[in-house]
A and B are shown apart, each in its own frame.
Chain A
């Protein structure tokens, strides 16, 4: 479903990805933890096809149409309403015209945003913009979701809601790759955990029976050692 093999990418002398390999099956969620500058965003951009790696390859079954992308920013147009934004992105992802309206209604309903559908994006709060961005990522029913720091700027309640939603999406058999520098936020969702440091995966394994505290401790050791 999602496979990365020997990914390597540099920006000048800075090594952003160094031999990163992993594969994920439906229902798996890989949480990639790492400090700022570890190469997490580069990894997600390579998986999304936004950056062509200098070595190695990433493969997602179904190609770009199968990927839902949630980056640092919402990718939404402020002067379009939430519904217009969803219609635009659905059209780009090849959702047939007759399906776009019902699909938007379904996604907005799921995110509790039905009453916000006609509101321009510029008028929404940070939390609602993030929800609208998730709606945009889900509009074409992707089998793989790539999430870059999705909890940034959300308050405690909004972050908890987002965690619950992502848990549901994982339960539906989607593959999730979640990159964050904040271990506490992502650890509950993960079936697999990777620690990234200076472009390398210094640890990548199933979460198993480890609890959040154990993973946080392992992460601290991994990013401070050596």
Chain B
């Protein structure tokens, strides 16, 4: 187990260094998040639908598509100079490769969300002060599920001709359960309803994470091995 984690960290660290050097995908995702929130801010009619009703969906649609940008790039950088082939020829276990990619993706999406959340609060003027910690917890719980499935699918589509198009088409149906859970919990939190009302959805998010992290760890090797 220690070896698996150590190898995963080697992969994740390399991905983070590369992203820090180029910043292309991170910058794109952050700009995308800001633009989507701006468009939603000016595109809605506040007299027709209350902000508090619309805000949770806007937040999660934005995070979902921004995460997609991050996930798309996860294996793209392994295609440069055929690095993926080298990784697969090395003693690196497939589980470590998956976990390493997952950790790097998680960090990447977390940065995008850390920029997106204050912008969301700013544009939509939603009262998050009292529910900030539970809200961050829900975002973390849903993001783990997104990234677990997204990392698996991004490996699956990377050798296809239209990888960037295929990823959302394949991934979005699988994101519906955590998306529903995250939107529902966020709506209740922003409406200052007690957390006990969201227990069912929180269990759904936790179960999704456990099932898909485990399943993807097992299935990952079938997506990369020839």
Contacts and interface: CB of A to CB of B under 8 A. Distances in A.
B84 to A, nearest CB: 8
A45 B226 CA distance: 10
Contacts of B89: 48-50, 64, 67, 69, 71
Nearest to A94: B91
B87 A50 contact: no
Contact of A91 (B10, B85, B226): B10
B77 interface: yes
Interface bin, chain A: 20 to 34
A71 B92 contact: no
B91 A75 contact: no
A76 interface: yes
A65 B17 CA distance: 25
B88 interface: yes
A51 B88 CA distance: 10
Contacts of B86: 69, 71, 75, 89, 136
B81 interface: yes
A89 B211 CA distance: 32
Interface in A70-98: 71-80, 84, 88-89, 91-94
Contact of B17 (A45, A48, A67, A84): A84
A63 interface: yes
A51 B82 CA distance: 16
Given A71-B85, A72-B82, A76-B81, A89 B17 contact: no
Contacts of A80: 14, 17-18, 21
A75 B18 contact: no
A92 B88 CA distance: 11
Interface residues of B, number: 22
B45 interface: no
A71 B10 CA distance: 22
Contacts of A74: 81-82
B22 A77 contact: no
Nearest to A67: B89
Nearest to B3: A94
A59 interface: no
26 contacts: A50-B88, A50-B89, A51-B226, A52-B225, A52-B226, A64-B91, A67-B89, A69-B85, A69-B90, A71-B86, A73-B81, A74-B82, A75-B81, A75-B86, A76-B81, A77-B18, A77-B83, A79-B21, A80-B17, A80-B18, A88-B10, A89-B90, A91-B10, A92-B92, A93-B91, A136-B86
Interface of A: 45, 48-52, 63-65, 67, 69, 71-80, 84, 88-89, 91-94, 121, 129, 136
Given A92-B91, A136-B86, 7 more contacts: A52-B226, A67-B89, A77-B77, A77-B80, A79-B22, A92-B7, A92-B10
